[in-house]
Amino acid sequence: MSRKRPKGKQERSAPTQMDWKVLEVVHPDAAGIDIGGREHWVAVSPERDPQPVRCYGCFTADLQEMARWLVEKGVRSVALQSTGVYWMPAFEILEQHGLEVYLVNAQHTKNLPGRKSDVQECQWLLKLHAFGLLNNSFQPTGEIRTARTLWRHRGNLVAEASSTVQRMQKALIEMNVQLSNVLSDLSGVSGMTILLAILKGERDPEKLAVLVQPEVKAAPEDIAKSLEGNWRPELLFVLRQQVELYQIYQKKIADCDVQLRRHLESLGGKVDLRVQPIGPRPKGKKASKNAPQFDLRSELYRITGIDWAQVNGIDVLTAQTVMAEAGADLEEFATEKHFTSWLGLCPSNERSGGKILNRATRKVVNRATVAFRNAASTLACRSLWLRLRPPALRRGPAATLSNTDIVGNGFGFWNTMPIARRTATTSTEESYKSRSSNSTLPSARAPGISSCMRLMQRTIVDLPHPEGPMIAVTWLARKSRSTPLTCSASP
């Protein structure tokens, strides 16, 4: 009985003859490890040992024995899953013994047929790794991992300190002390001075209102009214403990800043600050309240050779977060598209039968991704567009940017590039200005998404690392959850 030939779309999507050479053994000296909380299961080729699957404990002595056994059996490459934080000790010990460790995503190895067991899991990892079907996850250098640990710990301390401020405000509201209605920051100088005076026994609203700084915009009468409460003893006890906790967290943050500064100073730099000193801080960019208590901007400039404060929407905290997660050298990523895909900011491209199935962004837990999204959301798109639009459009009413708010991002970052980088888009910009100046529309309109995409494509492609990924990702972060951009498809 003859088989029916596919027609139409099925004919175009019909699979061609499979090349079985794709399943060549890529890693002949491979091993697979199933990571667990109490024990690790290791599998090697049956030709290397009569007992190819063994179980080892999670203690340091057991891990050392496991690494020595792998080296004795001639294993050179090991694949293990990134299970929680249990993989970290095994990863470090295996690297110390000179083994090439592949840290793989557990989602890429979960399609194991049949019932799952630890023995089958490690053997399945061995088979996939031997055929080269697993991708190694990005891991920064040891120096960057140290900076990442310190920076993440500092972020946790800042979050805990913010929680204590919220609990202080809750205790005050329960006592009907509406101090948050007249002070924008309860943990500021005026707020902490008043709280300390209350804990010392002061209850007179007039005397407490005098303690505020002259910069406070609220009227003294309103401040005095907000400081009248019932002063319940149990709530004062809660308030006292929260203030003490806040002070403890502030001290721990200062200690963490000292340790972070020592580590950053030990890293090599690309710029000598004595020969090429950093310029003044850009206007409109104020130092964050949670910024480290040392000149982090100068340290990042010395390490990377770039003043990140000059880029619209990016401050030193964002740059430090990205550097702590991805490193100062982005040579591990071939292009900015690979870097964007690693961050999970580019849309997916799932197709079947000539139809698009899914173009949503992947769910990625990455602090650098969150930093780029925050940087894109804080960028004043409308103010940039009003400042950078052609003179002919300035005479008309300003248009409300909705789907075209990416234009503000694009032109804002384009304006921060060096002069030598702008030559590639000069003709495009001049043609856009000529079209805009001859427009007879009654109101100002921003250019379309397609024209802006072509402009940004030509601009981003010419940018070297690390400028290219930073500009491309921050530009894409604004639109990653709405309109898919074909110029940034996953490689």
50-76 tens-digit pLDDT: 999 999 999 999 999 999 999 999 999
- pLDDT at position 288 is 82
pLDDT at 445 exceeding the cut of 70 = no
- Residues in CB range of 476: below 8 A, 6 or more apart: 340, 345, 346, 485, 488
Pairing of strands 350-352, 355-358: antiparallel
Across the chain, mean pLDDT equals 77
- pLDDT at position 389 is 53
- pLDDT at position 263 is 95
How far is Cα 10 from Cα 295, in angstroms, rounded to an integer? 62
Q: Hey, what are 109's tokens?
A: 């190895």
- Residues in CB range of 20: below 8 A, 6 or more apart: none
pLDDT greater at residue 413 or residue 185: 185
The model's pLDDT over 251-281, given as tens digits with 9 standing for 90+, comes to 999 999 999 999 999 998 888 888 888 888 8
SS (H, E, C) 373-437: HHHHHHCCHHHHHHHHCCHHHHCCCCCCCCCCCHHHHHHHHHHCCCHHHHHHHHHHHHHHHHHHH
Which residues partner with 351 through β-bridges? 356
Are the CB atoms for 205 and 224 separated by under 8 Å? Answer: yes
Most confidently modeled range among 158-167, 208-217, 439-448: 158-167
Cβ atoms within 10 A of the Cβ of 2, count? 4
CA angle 102, 108, 112 (to 5 degrees): 110
For 475, phi and psi rounded to 5 degrees? -65, -40
Q: What is the mean pLDDT of residues 214-237?
A: 93
The model's pLDDT over 384-443, given as tens digits with 9 standing for 90+, comes to 544 555 554 445 544 333 333 333 333 333 333 332 333 333 333 444 344 334 333 333
Pairing of strands 77-81, 53-57: unpaired
What's the one-letter identity of residue 195?
Answer: L
pLDDT greater at residue 7 or residue 482: 7
Q: What is the biggest distance separating any 2 CA atoms in the chain, rounded to whole angstroms?
A: 100
The model's pLDDT over 279-324, given as tens digits with 9 standing for 90+, comes to 888 877 777 888 998 999 999 999 988 888 888 778 889 999 999 9
pLDDT at 481 exceeding the cut of 90 = no
Distances (CA, A) of 466 to 136, 341, 392: 22, 15, 36
Sign of CA dihedral 108, 111, 112, 117: positive
> Taking the model in full, what pTM does it have?
0.72
The model's pLDDT over 341-385, given as tens digits with 9 standing for 90+, comes to 888 888 888 888 888 888 888 888 889 999 888 887 776 554 554
Domains and CATH numbers, the chain: 24-130 (3.30.420.140), 340-488 (no CATH)
Pairing of strands 77-81, 30-34: parallel
- pLDDT at position 282 is 81
How far is Cα 80 from Cα 122, in angstroms, rounded to an integer? 8
Are the CB atoms for 316 and 300 separated by under 8 Å? Answer: yes
Distance of CA 163 to the CA centre of its chain: 22
How far is Cα 399 from Cα 382, in angstroms, rounded to an integer? 9
- pLDDT at position 20 is 45
Please report, rounded to a whole number, the percentage of residues in the chain having pLDDT higher than 70: 71
pLDDT at 185 exceeding the cut of 70 = yes
The number of CA neighbours under 13 Å toward the Cβ of 272 is 2
Q: Of the given ranges (34-48, 223-237, 242-256, 469-483), which has the lowest mean pLDDT?
A: 469-483
Are the CB atoms for 419 and 458 separated by under 8 Å? Answer: no
Are the CB atoms for 340 and 488 separated by under 8 Å? Answer: yes
How far is Cα 210 from Cα 231, in angstroms, rounded to an integer? 19
String of DSSP letters for 208-258? HHTTS-TT--S-HHHHHHHT-----HHHHHHHHHHHHHHHHHHHHHHHHHH
Q: How confident is the model at residue 168 (pLDDT cuts 50, 70, 90)?
A: very high
